[in-house]
Amino acid sequence: MRTESMRKAEETLTSMCEERARMLQEQFAVSVNHVHALAILVSTFHYQKSPPALDQETFADYTASTAFERPLLNGVAYAQRVVHAERQLFESQQGWMIKTMKRDPSPVQDEYAPVIYSQETVSYIEALDMMSGEEDRENILRARASGKAVLTRPFRLLESNHLGVVLTFPVYLLDLPDDATAEERVRATAGYLGGAFDVESLVENLLRQLAGNQEIMVNVFDVTNASEPLIMYGTNPPDDHMLFSHVSMLDFGDPFRKHQMKCRYREKP
Ligand code: WA2
């Protein structure tokens, strides 16, 4: 029988879940917008000035003092597109060798995406070819062909090994019309500005601050492939003893990916 108290409990769960989904989506959107602005900063000061009016120290200072604008990102970085014919010159100018994400010297590739500017919090990705990691590589290819912000599926981030997703914006050498083809976009690509959403620790922080946190259990899923939901946040509890759950929709701004939040009571209400 559905009692009045059960109806109330269900209503409370719904509103708590909707509130959490709204907050997460909002903080996500704020962070994405600020990374967009950083991509424009690199375009303006690195590529539209000759010689470039940007260096690692300036990038590190600026990104450190604006970190509060990107509450869910553990750090941001800029990876430059380097084709193989330019590799030697690039490495001698930088004074370091391009490395893989496993930290070996990079083998020969058609092209590379070594990180040349990084926020101090992710300085460990400097000089790493971001195309050497499967998730980052897919993001780079999709970002530059589309001209839009893109997200990876959830995966274990470098160093922290926390579950998260990477956000990538493309940076172009010239102003492209909105209807530029994918091929034109690839040809005009200068590099990639992005960062990692440390979902495991930063979403935990966000949820901890909310009233009622002790009573409910929150999961976030990447449901791009509806038949194979990927866990993005939280531990998946066994379904059996659970009375009801609520699913809230999430929009993180990449139309290629679908996300949702699922909330339940920790104990039978
Ligand atoms: N940033 C931080 N930690 C990571 C990571 C990443 N990618 N990938 C795995 N762990 C510079 O798309 C360009 C940042 C990638 C941007």
Cα dihedral 230/231/236/238 (nearest 10): 0
Instruction: Output the ligand 1 site: residues, CB below 6 A.
Output: 77, 79, 115, 122, 125, 130, 133, 136, 139-140, 157-158, 166, 168, 192, 194-196
CA of 165 to the centre of ligand 1 (A): 9
* SS3 assignment, position 108: coil
Q: Average pLDDT for residues 6-29, to the nearest whole number?
A: 96
Residue 240 has pLDDT above 60, yes or no: no
Q: Average pLDDT for residues 91-109, to the nearest whole number?
A: 98
Q: Nearest residue CA, atom 13 of ligand 1?
A: 194
Q: Average pLDDT for residues 172-187, to the nearest whole number?
A: 97
Q: What's the pLDDT at 211?
A: 87
* SS3 assignment, position 60: helix
Residue 128 has what DSSP assignment?
B
State residue 36 phi and psi, 5-degree precision.
-55, -45
Contact 140/65 with Cβ under 8 angstroms? no
The first and second tokens of residue 260, run together, are 């949702």
Question: Long-range CB contacts (< 8 A, 24+ apart) of 153-157?
Answer: 153/222, 153/224, 153/230, 153/257, 154/199, 154/222, 154/230, 154/231, 154/232, 157/74, 157/196, 157/198
Residue 1 has pLDDT above 70, yes or no: no
Residue 2 has pLDDT above 90, yes or no: no
pLDDT tens figures, 143-154:
999 999 999 999
Query: Which atom in ligand 1 lies closest to the alpha carbon of residue 113?
Result: 13
* Share above pLDDT 90 across residues of the chain, in percent, rounded to a whole number: 92
Indicate the pLDDT class of residue 269, thresholds 50, 70 and 90. low
Q: Nearest residue CA, atom 14 of ligand 1?
A: 195
